Structure formats: structure tokens, C-alpha cells
Copies of this chain bind each other. A is one copy, B any other.
Amino acid sequence: MLDRNKDRILIVGLGLIGGSYAQGFRRAGFHVGAVTRSRESIDYALGNGIIDSGTNTLDREYISGFDVIVFSLYPKTLLSWIRDNQDMIKPGALLTDVTGVKCSVVYDIQRMLRNDIEFVGAHPMAGREVYGVQNSSADILKDANYIVTPTPANTPAAIETCREIGRILGFGRIATLSPEEHDRMIGFLSQLTHCIAIALMNSHETEHLAEYTGDSFRDLTRIARINENMWSELFLMNKQALLQEMDLFIDQITRIREAVRTDDEQLLRQMMLKSTRRRICFDKK
């Protein structure tokens, strides 16, 4: 169990999600520190009551003062940060993250990690189309899904603490999946849908079409506004799962294309009935 009077939380990477975590922890009464590259972000967060302390340098004395560290970094940066700086971490500390892919970070981290600290992966399914600590808010975590992705290397106590973090921050649903299950699920529900939105917007000069657009096209392409540096990294770090999901989807859309080409009205109807039946489960209760 985390103790707000004893356990100090460090956020590494103070962007949209890192800043939102910081605010959620502070609201719950924890002492929150931050390490991030930009001095400006630290100053903003200090000035706006988002953190209790913070630094943009790698200070051994500072970092070793924290009991829980949440990494909110791009996947490759996360791996190199831990490789290069784990010797600064307090013995017994719990490490977790917010990365959108799991297999390609969790196992590498656990392999290289010191024996006296533990890392449990987690993925908060929250976000916005804007970036930076300036746009952060504990409210974006509220009612979102939070997925803990333990491996056989993790202890029950650390897994439970990681789930507790989800409860402290006000997430709506707290789930546990293996890194593999997580990556397959995210490959389909999130990465494939982003690929589709990108492909749609790349299909055409679309400027003149905006005036004819209904809500369905607008909804479908909202996620085509995308942080190209983060998402290209996420796609490639989930390559196998994403390729598999793309192939399943391309097969199905090609099947529809063939049904249209050959006037196969019956197959079209069958596929529509199936999509209608399956989609009903996704309506919000």
C-alpha cells in the first residue's frame, strides 16, 4: 500500500500525461517531484502547483529520494534512460511507465534492471490532441482505462501497488493483461485505427471537401492529427502485432471491394449485418 505521508513520487518526463499524473498524485496528498529535459516545463509546473519539486538535470541525490518512479517518455528514450541512469535509483523503489507498447519495452527493461528495484508496465489509455505539461490535467485520466501488464518477473506486491496507482489517479477501469495481450489489443483498437485515418487523409487532396463533410468522416479522421515522432516509434515498436492487424483489415476491405466489383449484394449484406451486430456491444451504456 502506498502511504501519502511516506512515499514520494517522481515523474520522469513532464509532458501531457506526466503532468496529469503529477496533478493526480498531488491531489491525493503525495509529494511529487519531476525530472524532465525542459527547464520551462519545470518552471511552469512549479509555478502552477503541479509538482512540489523538480529539476532538468540528472541529479543523483535528488533522484535517489523517491520511492515510486513513473516514466512518461517515448519508448526508446525510456529504454536508454533506464540503461544510463538506473544506478541513481533508491533501492526498493517501484518503477512503472505509461508507454503505449509493452512487449518491446517491458522485457528489455526487466532484463537490464538492477535486482533491488522492480518495474511493472502500465498503460493509461488517455490522451488529447495537444501536448505538454501546459495542457495536462488530472481530469483526462478520470474514467479512462488503465492497463497493468505484469510479467512472471514481477512480484504480487508490486503488481498490486501498480493497480493501486490506477485507483489513486481515478481511472475508470483497471485491467491486467500480459504484454502480448496488450500489444495485440492496442494494435487493433488504437494503432490500426490511426493507420486508417492516416491512409484516408493521404488518399486525396481534401481541402475542397471539408465543406461537404458530415460527422462520420470527421469522427473517423479526428485521430489523423497525430504526433509523428511518438506514433512512428510506437508503430515500429509494435511491428509484429500491428502488421498482423493490418493484414486482417486489408483482407476484409479487399473482400468488400470484390463484393462491390462482382455485384455480390448478398455478401455485402452479410458483412453489414455482422458489423452491425458486433458494433452494438460498443455503445456506451
Q: Which residues of B contact A79 (CB under 8 A)?
A: none
A193 in the interface (beta carbon within 8 A) = yes
A48 in the interface (beta carbon within 8 A) = no
Q: Known interface pairs A228-B276, A268-B228, A275-B197. Does A249 touch B203 (Cβ–Cβ under 8 Å)?
A: yes
Q: Which residues of B contact A281 (CB under 8 A)?
A: 206-207, 210
Q: Which residues of B contact A233 (CB under 8 A)?
A: 265
Q: Known interface pairs A193-B216, A207-B281, A243-B257. Does A202 touch B274 (Cβ–Cβ under 8 Å)?
A: yes
A58-66, A151-159, A217-225 - interface stretch: A217-225
Interface residues of A (CB under 8 A from B): 125, 144-145, 147, 173, 175, 185, 188-190, 192-207, 209-214, 216-229, 231-233, 235-236, 239, 242-243, 245-257, 260-261, 263, 265, 268-269, 271-276, 278-282, 284
Whether B211 pairs with A190 at a CB distance below 8 angstroms is no
Which of B188, B252, B260, B284 is A209 in contact with, Cβ under 8 Å? B188
Q: Which residues of B contact A239 (CB under 8 A)?
A: 260-261, 263
Whether B189 pairs with A217 at a CB distance below 8 angstroms is yes
Alpha-carbon separation in the docked complex, A175 to B208 (Å): 12
Which among A212, A227, A229, A255 has the highest number of chain B CB atoms within 10 Å? Answer: A212
With A193-B217, A232-B265 already in contact, 8 other A-B pairs whose C-beta atoms are closer than 8 Å: A193-B200, A199-B253, A202-B274, A218-B282, A221-B279, A224-B278, A228-B273, A239-B263
